[in-house]
Each structure stands twice: as C-alpha cells, then as structure tokens.
C-alpha cells in the first residue's frame, strides 16, 4: 500500500471481511478462481470465513453420490465449527448425515430435501441439532412420525418446518395423521409450516393450529383430505395465512426431471468432478507459514476440484480451470 493512500489493498483486508465479500460470489468462483488470485485470498477461502453458510442444493441435485459426500466433508471441515446454514439435496447414506450432526454446534438452518436418512438415524442424532430454528426434510420418504417427534423433542427453538411431499409418492394413498400429530405434540413454537401434497387429514391440521398459536404460514397445497372453515380459522388464528389445499395451479417440478439429466451432454449446467491427486501449489516461494495451509487440504483425501462444461465434453487447456482475473 502506498504511503498516504486512503485506500487499502484488497490483499490486505482481514479474512473476516474477505469471507463476507466472497460469500456473494458463486460457489464455483470461490473454490477455483479466488484461491489463485493471491495468498491472502487463498487463505481466506481455506478458512472458516467463507463457509459459515453453505448452499450446494442446486449442484448436489446433479452430483454423483460419492462426489457429494466428499464435497460436503471438505466444506464442512473448512467451516471449523462455525457453520450456521447448510442447504444440500439428496444425501444418500447415514454416515454423511452423522457427519453433519457432528459439526452442527452452531447450525441454525438445515435444508436436506430428497435425502435418504431414516427414522432410526434421526432418533439417534437429533439431539445434536438442538440449535436448529429452520428445517427442510421435504421429499424424504424414509422418515416419518418417529423422526419428526425426535426432531421436535430435541429442537426446542424450531420455528420453521418444510415437510412437503411429491404427488407421485402420495397419490391414491389414504390420509395418515401420525406425522401431523407428532408436529402438534412437539413443535409448539412453529411460525412457518409447509406440508404440500401430504397425507394428512382435517383433524390433525386442527390439532396443529391449536398447538401452534404463533403459526403465521401454513402450506396445504394438494392436501385434498383437509377441509377448513376459513371464517373459523381466521377467528382463532388471525395472523395465519393458509395456502391451499384447493389451489388452481400446476405442481412445481421441484427439479425432479432435471435430476435425471446428469449424463446429458447437452446440459449447460456446469458439472463438477473430483479427481484424486495432489493439491496444486500456486505459489513457489518458501513461505513456510503459508505452506502449512495446504497440509489441511491434503488431509481431506488430497482432492483436486476442477470444472468442466457438460458431461462428456472435452475439457479445454489448463485442465478446464476458469481464467484467473
């Protein structure tokens, strides 16, 4: 920085400030472009400053399961216990769910749509999610009332729950009240509840309304068995907005069709691939304090991340890395 200048160099900003700035960039750029700019930026990306909020839901819906697990482990490890928000789709094993729970000490918002965890594993580790205030377990077909009850009993600060279902998973099946009753019995502080296309009856919805006096939004689209008296509901819950159950619209796709296009070479979505190998050292000097930063990355199975545009498409020169700014 020049003497007398009123401006600081970008590489002299403290890591906290850099992390706040980088959080507004796409994940791809944070992982591949930013680390190559300078040492201070690379160090900020390797530390917890950029990973207090992790949103890879869109990417994970098109990712191979092994790559998803490795990506999550890498990013959560970088958060160093400061993770506050996590959004990811399609967890397919109990081990990665348990790994998330082990690092959930500061977690407040958790989105896990279309994941494969079951009632048993949720019951075992729900206590580790005690700081959660918002949870999305939509389209998780392997969990039921037992899991919701465990969540409600352990997540005392929970004010938002998404438990939407896909119409194909519920079409033609009779109503079931066990999940609705579990919500009513264990989640009295709810303000936001989504149960679109869920197998639920009027009786359990009335129980929820009675047990959750602070409820402000209730999504019942596609819950065809629910019949509510609008006037009575408004009198008892004046601040409540109910969406559905009879809504003249079409069902949002929820990216289900897109999930089957992982191998479609015509997709313009940038797929990401992990490769086994050493971490590239972008700086050739002998700064030992900086070199130690790469040791942490090596412990994460020495993964190298690269991007390529379209599956099966030829990767350009320089291993497909985006150009450095």
Per-block average pLDDT, block size 10, for the chain (325 residues)? 55 72 79 81 81 89 88 91 93 92 94 95 95 96 96 97 90 85 97 94 94 95 89 86 75 42 34 36 41 41 40 38 41
Strands (E), the chain: 53-55, 85-87, 109-111, 134-136, 160-162, 192-194, 217-219, 241-243, 270-276, 303-309
The pLDDT tens digits for 146-205 are 999 999 999 999 999 999 999 888 777 787 899 999 999 999 999 999 999 988 999 999
Number of domains in the chain: 2
| One domain for residues 170 and 156 | yes
pLDDT at 276: 33
| One domain for residues 113 and 24 | no
Question: Within a domain: residue 134?
Answer: yes
Q: Is the dihedral of CA 151, 143, 54, 220 positive or negative?
A: negative
Q: What DSSP line would sit under 35-68, residue for residue?
A: GGT-HHHHHHHHSGGG-SEEE-HHHHTTS-HHHH
**Structural domain that includes position 183:** 53-243
| One domain for residues 141 and 73 | yes
Q: Which of 186, 219, 243 is the last residue of a domain?
A: 243
pLDDT at 6: 58
Determine the longest span between alpha carbons in the chain, in angstroms.
75
Domain of residue 162, CATH code: 3.80.10.10
Question: Within a domain: residue 173?
Answer: yes
| One domain for residues 168 and 181 | yes
| One domain for residues 28 and 174 | no
Residues 6+ apart with CB under 8 A from 291: 281
């Amino acid at each position: 920085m020049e003497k007398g200048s009123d401006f600081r160099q970008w590489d002299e900003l403290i890591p906290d400030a850099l992390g706040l700035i980088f959080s507004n960039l796409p994940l791809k750029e944070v992982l591949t472009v930013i680390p190559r700019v300078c040492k201070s930026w690379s160090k900020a990306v390797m530390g917890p400053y950029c990973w207090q909020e992790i949103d890879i839901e869109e990417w994970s819906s098109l990712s191979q399961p092994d790559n998803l697990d490795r990506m999550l482990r890498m990013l959560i490890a970088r958060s160093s216990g400061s993770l506050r928000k996590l959004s990811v789709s399609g967890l397919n094993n109990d081990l990665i769910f348990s790994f998330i729970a082990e690092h959930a000490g500061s977690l407040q918002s958790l989105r896990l749509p279309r994941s494969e965890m079951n009632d048993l594993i949720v019951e075992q580790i729900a206590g580790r999610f005690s700081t959660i205030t918002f949870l999305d377990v939509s389209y998780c077909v392997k969990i039921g009332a037992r899991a919701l009850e465990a969540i409600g009993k352990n997540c005392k600060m929970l004010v938002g729950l998404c438990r939407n279902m896909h119409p194909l998973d519920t079409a033609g099946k009779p109503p079931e009240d066990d999940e609705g009753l579990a919500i009513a019995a264990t989640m009295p502080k709810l303000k936001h509840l989504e149960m679109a296309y869920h197998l639920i009856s009027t009786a359990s919805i009335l129980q929820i309304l009675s047990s959750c006096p602070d409820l402000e939004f209730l999504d019942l689209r596609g819950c065809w068995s629910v019949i509510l008296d609008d006037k009575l509901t408004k009198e008892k819950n004046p601040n409540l907005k109910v969406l559905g159950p009879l809504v003249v619209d079409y069902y949002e796709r929820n990216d289900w069709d897109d999930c089957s296009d992982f191998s479609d070479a015509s997709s313009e979505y940038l797929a990401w691939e992990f490769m086994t190998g050493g971490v590239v050292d972008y700086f050739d000097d002998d700064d030992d304090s900086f070199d130690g930063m790469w040791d942490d990355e090596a412990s994460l199975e020495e993964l190298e991340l690269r991007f390529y545009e379209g599956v099966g498409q030829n990767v350009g020169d320089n291993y497909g890395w985006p150009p450095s700014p």
